[in-house]
Every structure is written in C-alpha cells, then in structure tokens.
Amino acid sequence: MQFTKMHGIGNDFIILNGFRQGTESPDLVTKRLCDRHYGIGADGVIFALPSQAADARMRIINADGGEPEMCGNGIRCLGKFLYDEGIVRKTSMTIETLAGVLALDLRVEDGAVQSITVDMGAPRFDPAEIPVDADTNRVTIDLDGQPARFFCVSMGNPHAVTYDLYPDDAPFRRFGAMLERHPLFPRRANIEFCRLRQDGGVDVRVWERGDGETLACGTGACAVVAAGASLGLLPRSAAVHLPGGVLDIRWAEDDHIFMTGPAETVFKGEF
C-alpha cells in the first residue's frame, strides 16, 4: 500500500490514492495506519477517490475509525496531493465531500502549491441541523461548577465554541473528552476553546470529535469566526491562531466562509 503523509498546520493525515489502488475495511485500515506507535501515525486517513459530481471525492476516516462529514485541513492537503500527483492539474478544482461539493483555489508559484483557499460554504445555526438537542444553538454547560456558554454551529460537521474559558492542558483534555460526548450533542461535537488577542485575532484550542486534541482544525477555525462575529467579539475576517499555526478566515457577504492556509507533504512510503 503506497501512501503520502501530509499535514495542514500540524493536523496530519495519510493520503491513499484511490484512483490507483483499492482498500478494503477502511475503518480497520485507518486504525492501524494512524497508530503512532505501531503504524505511520496520523489524525486520520484521507482516501482520494473519483467523483461523478466533482474533480475528485474525499473520504476521511478519523483515527478512531469514525467518518466525519468534512475536514478543513484535510481538504487542503487533498487539494495539494491531487495537484502534485497530476490527478487534477488545475489551480481551481472541486472536491466532493459528505458535506457537499467544495471549491478550492490553489496559489501556485514555480510549480509549488503555496497556499489553498477553500469555499467552506455557509455556517448553519439551526439546532436541528448542527445537531444540538436544544431549542437554540446557544447552550450553557456546567464545567467544574462554573457555567460556560457555548455557541453551536455546523460547518458540515458539529462544533461547540466557547469564549468563556481557555483552559490549561489537564482541564482542557478533561473538558474536551466530556463535551465531545455530552448528551446535548447527539452526533458528538468538535469543541473549540477561544481567547481573544489584542491584534484582533483569536487563540483556539481544539478537541476534535474522534481524534481528541489536535494541533489544528479547519472547520473549527471557521466555526470560531462565525460564532465570534455573531456574538460581536470578532470581525468577519480574522486570523485564527491554533497550536500548529495560523488560518485566515473570511466570512463573506454572501454568507460563505473562506479558509486560507498551507498544506505540506511530509514524506511518501509503502506500508
């Protein structure tokens, strides 16, 4: 099995070329490949597949074997992979996901992909669409005796964003694991803890559904800006600072959110 290891500001993936090779039992394969001690090590496996509706189709399986609807850092990695491998040799391409068909624009200099902008679509705030088991997308959850307010939003996958706390390592991991599977979130949720910066940006720590703590989350960065702008805490364009790096997020007037960031190839190999 040939693979390419890639990352988007630290959120790392194993890319398998489904245009050339098939894979049986993708959930079991993913668990083995993503093991950081006995496998290659990654937050998830991305299958690059043919599509009837777009230039390519992205299927992503998280390290725990679960299949999310979308991944912002992952789709940038896939865009670079498709371009570098000559599968889709275009600077504007479309990729089919479980959250719909998304458009990518690649900035290429001297034949090398420098950054990728993804039209992530419009954020959704309806509790039934997120989903969140409440009458509103704004919920309050008790954390160690302290109420924390969460603004819930879907970017094709569920997010719960709070600006009320930015916890240290131990409480972050405890709260993240508990909140991911909180009864309010019937399909679990990605959790973002946010801290406003003096330069107008925002610091974010992400607990990803199915992966736990990750260095970055593209859909999470979009959810953070959608929540922050809706609450009057952020402008509609902001730099989102994650542990692995920075993503530039713009919530346009047409309601679509555009995410811009890098994607890097780490190495290629055979497993």
**C-beta contacts of 234-241 below 8 A and 24+ residues apart:** 234/196, 234/200, 234/202, 235/200, 238/200, 238/201, 238/202, 239/199, 239/200, 239/201, 239/202, 240/201, 240/202, 240/204, 241/197, 241/201, 241/202, 241/203, 241/204
What pLDDT is recorded for position 22? Answer: 81
- The active-site residue out of 34, 77, 194, 217 is 217
Strands 44-49, 56-62: pairing kind:
antiparallel
Taking the CA of residue 12 as centre, how many other CA atoms within 13 Å lie in the half-sphere pointing to its CB? 16
- Is 34 one of the catalytic residues? no
User: With contact defined as beta carbons under 8 Å apart, do 78 and 88 qualify?
Assistant: no
Tell me if domain 2-120+260-270 and domain 138-253 are identical in fold: yes
User: With contact defined as beta carbons under 8 Å apart, do 9 and 76 qualify?
Assistant: no
CA distance 76 to 95: 10
Q: Hey, what CATH topology would domain 2-120+260-270 get?
A: Diaminopimelate Epimerase; Chain A, domain 1 (3.10.310)
What pLDDT is recorded for position 206? Answer: 97
- Is 71 one of the catalytic residues? yes
pLDDT tens string 49-100: 999 999 999 999 999 999 999 999 999 999 999 999 999 999 999 999 999 9
- Report the top-level CATH class of 138-253: alpha beta
Residue numbers of the chain with a pLDDT score lower than 70: none
Q: Which among 24, 90, 26 has a CA at the least distance from the CA of 58? A: 26
Per-domain boundaries in the chain:
2-120+260-270, 138-253
pLDDT tens string 148-170: 999 999 999 999 999 999 999 99
- The active-site residue out of 71, 77, 152, 194 is 71
What pLDDT is recorded for position 25? Answer: 79
Q: Is the pTM for the entire model greater than 0.85?
A: yes
Upstream peptide bond of 131 is cis (omega within 30 degrees of 0): yes
